[in-house]
Amino acid sequence: MREIPFFLDNFAHDMTFELIYMAAVIVLMLWALMTDKLRPGLILFSAVVLLLCAGILQPKEALEGFCSKGMITVALLYLVSEGVRKSGVLERIIYHMLPSKNVSLTRALAGFLPLISFISAFLNNTPVVVIFGPMIKNWAQKMKLPPSKFLIPLSYATILGGVCTLIGTSTNLVLDGLIDDAIEADIVKNGHTLGMFELSKVGVFIALTGLFYLIMISRYLLPDRRETPLDEEENKSEGVVVVEAMPSNRFPGLGKSLREFDFYRHYGATVKGIKRGGSPLTGDWINEPLTKQDTLILETDKTFMPTWGESSVFWMLNVVGAEPELSKKKKYFALVLVALMVTGATVGELPFVHELGLKVKLDMFFFAAITTVLMAWTKMFSPRKYTKLISWDVLITIACAFGISKGMINSGLADFLGDYIIVLAEQARHSENGIYIMLAALFIITNIFTEVITNNAAAALAFPLAVSISNKLGMDPTPFFVCICFAASAAFSTPIGYQTNLIVQGVGGYKFKDFVKVGLPLNIIVFLMSVFLIPLFYL
């Protein structure tokens, strides 16, 4: 029991100006993110500027994230995902996986959720949900099944698949970039970067268990909310198309009502209704300020989708009742490119490749860059609109997260918190259960961050803690890094924790409590499996 008094006696002694200032910046940043004061990228950039003003970061350290290989790889994978999406091959695969007769809810989920997770292990989660969400909703309505039983499982399945590989989610790439930079700066001792399938050792077990949970409980915990297809609600004149649109952060009408914002003048479409938090707005909805959680029901003509389908103004556009239009050209070429990218990055990590002494490092960045250039020149995505396909706010958030993570190390805040996590674990070096307590503490801290702020920022804030703990104990930091990857992605309990959750909330008509009811048990499952499986594979 010596450690607890030691904690209290030395608390004030350990506090320095830089440590207190860093802690204050973190608190202010978290408050701004939770209250949505500005876009996440600007909030994190503001935090970096505050650290520059105090001398905790030097200009070079503040800018390192903007030339990080991990951040650039995330940008490239946005374009690769768009190339695959444009090919139409994913729609064709899932279309054949959805049963057309004698369908039951459990059988349907068991049929397509594992495939969704597998796809999400190699593509960004957001485009996967954007592609499949409308398809699955339209299919469910045709099969007389409630779409609300399928769309939260769709989002969760992409998250579970994403934790299985290095490229499954941007969080893993961000953490790998932080590790790479820390190794080069000799901050991380006895560590190594994450390989393509490093996370699969534990991630596959977590994904399979999570999918089994979703398949078994969806019929009981998810709401039975059925909608009448909008194209059947009223007779429309020929040529009129009904579209569901979910505005993105770049939508200029956010915070304005439809009376203040002339939607028709901007986009040539008429807003016929708004769904918010899963329910249609009633009463004087035309004077309600628009939010990112809204789904707009539009009436327009056939020119709307070609004009705005690739725009970054909307997260998702779904033509109600439309069958997926499959591209007949280059669909297999897209799959070949992605397969070569993954295979090349995996083989590039093998020891015999390193022994060849090549001047170029054959990693994910190298192969993602080649794949992106080939897709651009073969017009797998629109090369003239490629900047619209990248989420720049996410990239700025990632780049600034590197600086904030470095600030936590420079200020001593990482060591300060790391010391007391070790104390909490009762000197883990000599305690049989110490490693489990430390992993549990690290997981909970990271997971709370990711549920209330962005997952990339959560990983960046937790990274210095993992470095400090492993260095002080002389341990391999890999188990702590792996723990952060799972904790930062396990955002199941709230719709704001993960972008895909926000998308399906609007499409599926969910309320906040629906995510808590289904997601909280899944959070607990991932927590327990991570804490108890990671030591088995990494120690």
- Residue by residue, DSSP assigns 296-351 as EEEEE-TTHHHHHTT-TTEEEEEETTPPPPPP-SSHHHHHHHHHHHHHHHHHTTSH
Give the pLDDT score at 1: 40
* Residue 254 bridge partners (DSSP): 290
Residue 284 belongs to some domain of the structure: yes
| Co-location of 311 and 445 in the same domain | no
Written as six digits, the tokens of 387 are 């900047």
* Pair (302, 424) in one structural domain: no
E strands, 211-255, are 241-247
Both 405 and 512 in one domain: the answer is yes
Domain boundary among 319, 343, 369: 319
Give the number of domains in the chain.
2
Residue 267 CA to residue 239 CA, distance in Å, equals 17
* Residues 315, 395 within the same domain: no
pLDDT for 150: 92
Per-residue pLDDT, 6: 46
Give residue 177's pLDDT. Answer: 84
CB 492 within 8 A of CB 455: no
Is residue 302 domain-shared with residue 395, that is, in the same domain?
Answer: no
In this structure, the answer to whether residues 270 and 406 fall within a common structural domain is no
Residue 118 lies in a domain: no
464 and 421 Cβ atoms separated by less than 8 Å: no
Inter-residue contact 70 to 305 (CB < 8 Å)? no
Q: Is residue 24 part of a domain?
A: yes
pLDDT, tens digit, for every residue of 13-62?
556 888 889 889 988 987 887 776 777 788 889 999 999 998 998 998 88
Sequence-distant (6+) residues with CB within 8 A of 133 are 151, 154, 316, 318, 503, 504, 507, 508
Task: Return per-residue pLDDT of the chain as tens, 539 residues.
Answer: 444 444 445 545 556 888 889 889 988 987 887 776 777 788 889 999 999 998 998 998 888 888 877 788 878 888 887 787 777 777 777 777 777 776 788 888 998 899 999 988 988 787 788 778 878 887 888 888 888 899 999 999 999 999 999 888 888 888 888 888 888 877 777 778 888 889 999 999 999 999 999 999 988 888 887 665 544 444 445 567 888 888 887 788 888 888 888 888 888 888 888 887 667 787 778 888 888 878 888 888 877 877 777 677 887 667 765 545 545 667 778 888 888 888 888 787 777 777 777 778 787 788 889 999 998 888 887 777 777 777 787 788 878 887 888 888 888 887 777 777 777 665 545 556 778 888 998 999 898 888 766 787 788 888 888 888 888 888 889 999 999 999 999 889 877 667 788 778 777 778 878 888 999 999 999 999 999 999 999 87
pLDDT, residue 432, reads 65
Q: What pLDDT score does 383 carry?
A: 77
- Are 169 and 77 in contact by the 8 Å Cβ rule? The answer is no
**Residues of the domain holding 509:** 3-71+389-538
Residue 304 sits in the same domain as residue 397 = no
Is there a domain that residue 78 lies in? no
Residues 396, 275 share a domain: no
Examine residue 171 and state whether it is found in any structural domain, yes or no.
no
Among 295, 319, 343, the domain-final residue is 319
The strand pair at 270-276 and 314-319 is best described as unpaired
Residue with tokens 């702590």: 480
Residue 482 inside a domain? The answer is yes
- CATH assignment of the domain containing 312: 3.30.70.1450
Closest residue by Cα to residue 315 from 420, 244, 415, 259:
244
Residue for token pair 């969400």? 133
Q: How far is CA 54 from the centre of its chain?
A: 32
14 is written with which tokens?
Answer: 């350990």
| Residues 311 and 397 reside in one and the same domain | no
Whether 485 is covered by a domain: the verdict is yes
From 288, 319, 350, give the residue that closes a domain.
319
Query: In this structure, what are the phi and psi dihedrals at residue 279, rounded to the nearest 5 degrees?
Result: -125, 145
Do 263 and 253 form a contact (C-beta atoms < 8 A)? yes
Q: What is the pLDDT of residues 294-307, one digit of tens each?
A: 888 888 887 787 77
296 and 402, same structural domain? no
